[in-house]
Structure 1
Amino acid sequence: MPDTAAFDEGVLPKAAVTWSDRNRLHDYAAIGQKLFVQRIVIYSAAMLLTGFYLDWATAVYFYAAIWLCEAFDALSLRSVLKRAALSPGEFRVEITRIYVVTFLGALTIALFSISIASLQGTDSGHFFPLFILVSASIFAAMNNHHFLKVLGLRLVIYVIAILYIPIRDVWIERPPLSSEIWMNLFTVLFVLGFIVELARNFLVGYSAQLEGRQALEAEHKRTLAAYEAKTRFLATVSHELRTPLTSIKGALDMINSGLVGEPPDKMKRLLDMAGRNSDRLADLVGDLLFLQSSDAGRLNLNIERVDLAVPARDAVEQTLPYAQRLGITIEIQAASGRFWINADKKRIEQVIANLLSNAAKFSRKGDNVVVSIDSTNAHVQLYVQDQGIGIPAGTGAKIFEEFFQIDAQDDRQFEGTGLGLSVSKRIVEAHGGTITYESEVGLGTTFCVELDAADLPADPPADPPA
């Protein structure tokens, strides 16, 4: 349980304003401003009842006094909420204003209730004025618990008024102990115990909540620092890897192409393997750099009018050698000149290539992967459908998370970094589109990329010859 001595921590700080001070003051001001209309409605109802049943002069006088207090309070609260930060001097000024308006407001309500009791005489039980004071005490415990001294000042004034009304009746009437006037006094004492306990619970609860918020904010800062460190690390490592990897990949490509002479037959298989793995490393580094740029908000797109069938065919040609090694066929069903979008052609081709690579990787030998394009209303949809192992139920959006693997075991059957779908999702969303999937385990998966359609060009090109 939080130490009650901490409730007033820094109320009049001598040094810098602490996190607790600043947030207590802000919370107090925010709640006070939020409940302004509610308080005015309650006061107005009380004044109307007083004027109608007792005395209009008393009602109008105290209603005007309460409005003055509320106006001063509203100005003070607005001053707090407008400030992004407070110096120790400014904090002391705002706290002093809160003390003043608390004293004046509570005193006005207390005197108003005592005046009503005086108008009622000693034989009414004073339900109405006591109800006003008890309700005001509960309202204060619920909404003014941010500073112990502020709440204490308000409750002390209310408690004095609550006790004064029945004690005054006892003093005037001097009734026997069996009289209901004494019962009213004992009832008031019982209610006061309830109010004190309620106030204590709200004080303790708010302080515990504030400690939790402070711990959560500190944890958030640590998490943000770790995230920034990770981003810097990925950026540095990726850039440092790219330069030597480009040299290695270039040298292997030259050797495998025969530009520097035909390599010995015994070395061809090893060189081909090295070339493929250098390509995989280059793709991995590229994906890491892309994610780092995306996280930093530096994702640049070269937007142009694109016939979606063109990057689809290019992606199929790019993926076909890999699919053929796995014994997978790829079929494309996309008419040219019909499905136009405003997009970065290279990035959209990257998305389709990622989807095709995944489809081929998770398919069985002899399966067929189909790429098709369709349109509805103002959107264009590209589908990549496979007959592979499918995605387990319950996977949901996790499949688009970075480094997520359907088979995450150390000895998993399928290779990959788990970045392809994450990169694809970011590219599609950067274009204002969506990427979704439907899957059934053992029967295959269909990914759908939906993008906004562009207007058809004046002279759309004809389909290329088969």
Structure 2
Amino acid sequence: MEAKGKDIEQNGIELSNDIHSRIKRLKDYAHVGQKLSLQRTIIYSLSVFLAGFYYDPTVAMLFFVAIIAWEIYDVLLLRYILRTARDHSINIRKATFHVALATALSAATIALFCVAIAIQQGVGGNHFLPLFLLVSASIFAAMNNHQFLPILGLRLFIYVVAILYIPIRDVWIVRPPITSEIWLNLFTVLFVVGFILELARSFLTGYSSLLKSRLALEIEHKHALAASEAKTRFLATVSHELRTPLTSIKGALDIINSGNSGEIPEKMARLLEMAGRNSNRLNDLVVDLLLLQSSDAGKFSLDMTRIDLGNVVNDAVTSFHAYAQTTGVVVVCDINPHQFYIVGDKKRLDQVVTNLLSNAAKFSNSNDDIHVKLVRDGDDVVLSVQDNGIGIPENSETKVFEEFGQIDSSDQRRFQGTGLGLAVSKRIVEAHGGTIYYESTLGVGSTFYVRLKSAIPDHEGNSSAITLP
């Protein structure tokens, strides 16, 4: 039963793909037809004018009226296909039938028109004009009407029959010797017909291959969107489910470590401190996940105010000193306040600075210095965080700012981490209309830069909450 169910599901997928392919072919046919409608009308008009001028104008006018009537029918049909395909109400069978009918009427009229010209030219002539029109129409069809093999085959069949009829008629009426040029005309036409058929096969094969690739890309795109939506839902669910118990655990550990609940036994102090530190790390991870999820969902909210970026950086460096001491690095920062003003979210930018400092400390050696600077560059303010650590390999830009990205992704990598810090920082900086980038030399160190638009100082501190897409 399970195998039968899978077969039914597979058949359903194949049927859906086949319907999608037919609709695509109809839309492509209609788009090309509309684009070339004026061109066809001009060519038909000039051909009829020549035939009417040099031969019978009455016959030429009758065929012109018929050709224009089928062209109008074709234009209305193409509009119907595009309109119904756009609102998903198209009847594929009905549309395909009318395409075949329009093809048969149009091709038959053109073929009869050319045969009529050849008959008016008499027997034994070179019949250049009618054969040229038929061959041109065949090549035109092979190049532009290759969306459906039966439709193209019907049009080419009608044209080829007319092309062959003209020299065969001459041979049948005159019955010349094999050395006559009348036979040569027939042989030449046969070569031309072979060329037309090969051209049609080439265009049809190329289009079918292209259509398969387009459909495969669309399917992959849908799968990628579904995977992205699943990832977003997973992150949202996990983050929210973790946050509630984690808040309780972190709060309890903070109370215990503060000593408010009583003196901590010496043997438990180190373990509780470790638990508190790791609960803070886990809390930061959950916050980062929530930020990424809200950004993906288009609900990334920023509280934009006119702030002194120098104060933000100094506060972040001060808060980071305790962690810097545990890693053995020294943060060197000499930034004067009241010089670098921007419009931004103070809390989020503090998070960016902290992430950059943490990243620099993680990849630095003990007793190394981390230099933090703020400079003005034209209308921008540029923050730089420089370390003398291991550096970053060339062509690693994508992986550096990728979510969960790690230059060394092995289980035994030396530097642990989730790979979210720089990804989150990039989202925050870009939400502020800024850019984040780096310069690095392997084995020498790295410098990360954050470039933001400068603002005029405003001591009134007007603020506004905005939601960025």
TM-score, length of structure 1 as denominator length: 0.86
Deviation at 1:58, TM superposition (A): 7.0
**2:371 is paired with a residue of what secondary structure?**
strand
CA contact (8 A) 1:402 1:419 kept: yes
* Mapping for residues 2-81 of structure 1, pairs under 5 Å: 18-40=19-41, 42-43=43-44, 46=47, 65-81=66-82
Label 1:204 to 1:367 Cα distance change in 2 as closer, same or farther (>3 A): same
CA contact (8 A) 2:405 2:419 kept: yes
**2:409 is paired with a residue of what secondary structure?**
coil
Distance in 2, Cα, partners of 1:313 & 1:65: 84
* Mapping for residues 361-380 of structure 1, pairs under 5 Å: 361-380=362-381
- How high is the sequence identity, in percent, across the aligned residues? 59
Equivalent AA in structure 2 for residue 454 of structure 1? A
2:404 counterpart residue number:
403
Distance in 2, Cα, partners of 1:378 & 1:55: 78
Q: Deviations over 1:88-126 (max 9, x none)?
A: 7x4344334323322232233323433443454445523
Q: Deviations over 1:355-408 (max 9, x none)?
A: 111011111122221222223333322222222111101212221111111222
> Moved runs in structure 1, 4+ residues, more than 4 A?
40-68, 85-88, 118-124
1:186 counterpart residue number:
187
1:169 counterpart residue number:
170
CA contact (8 A) 1:351 1:427 kept: yes
Q: Paired residues, what number?
A: 446
1:420 counterpart residue number:
421
Equivalent AA in structure 1 for residue 145 of structure 2? N
Equivalent AA in structure 2 for residue 135 of structure 1? S
**1:192 is paired with a residue of what secondary structure?**
helix
- Identify which range, 418-427 or 360-369, moves more after superposition: 360-369
Distance in 2, Cα, partners of 1:76 & 1:283: 61
Deviation at 1:458, TM superposition (A): 6.7
1:98 counterpart residue number:
99
Label 1:304 to 1:72 Cα distance change in 2 as closer, same or farther (>3 A): farther
Distance in 2, Cα, partners of 1:379 & 1:411: 41
Distance in 2, Cα, partners of 1:60 & 1:435: 71
Label 1:431 to 1:79 Cα distance change in 2 as closer, same or farther (>3 A): farther
Label 1:196 to 1:456 Cα distance change in 2 as closer, same or farther (>3 A): same
Label 1:453 to 1:190 Cα distance change in 2 as closer, same or farther (>3 A): same
CA contact (8 A) 2:399 2:406 kept: no
Distance in 1, Cα, partners of 2:136 & 2:367: 78
**2:176 is paired with a residue of what secondary structure?**
coil
Distance in 2, Cα, partners of 1:315 & 1:38: 68
Distance in 1, Cα, partners of 2:96 & 2:87: 14
Considering only aligned residues, what root-mean-square deviation do their CA atoms show, in Å? Answer: 2.9
Label 1:317 to 1:132 Cα distance change in 2 as closer, same or farther (>3 A): farther
* Mapping for residues 199-218 of structure 1, pairs under 5 Å: 199-218=200-219
Deviation at 1:37, TM superposition (A): 4.6
1:248 counterpart residue number:
249
Distance in 2, Cα, partners of 1:51 & 1:109: 15
Label 1:46 to 1:455 Cα distance change in 2 as closer, same or farther (>3 A): farther
Distance in 1, Cα, partners of 2:58 & 2:376: 75
2:270 counterpart residue number:
269
- Identify which range, 398-407 or 78-87, moves more after superposition: 78-87
CA contact (8 A) 2:399 2:407 kept: no
CA contact (8 A) 2:239 2:289 kept: yes
1:5 counterpart residue number:
none
1:281 counterpart residue number:
282
Deviation at 1:81, TM superposition (A): 1.6
CA contact (8 A) 1:304 1:344 kept: yes
TM-score, length of structure 2 as denominator length: 0.85
Label 1:201 to 1:445 Cα distance change in 2 as closer, same or farther (>3 A): same
Q: Which runs of 5+ in 2 are unaligned?
A: 1-14, 462-469
Deviation at 1:335, TM superposition (A): 3.3
Q: Deviations over 1:10-64 (max 9, x none)?
A: xxx9x99922322221121122223335445554665676678778777776566
1:314 counterpart residue number:
315
Deviation at 1:86, TM superposition (A): 4.4
1:8 counterpart residue number:
none
- Identify which range, 252-261 or 94-103, moves more after superposition: 94-103
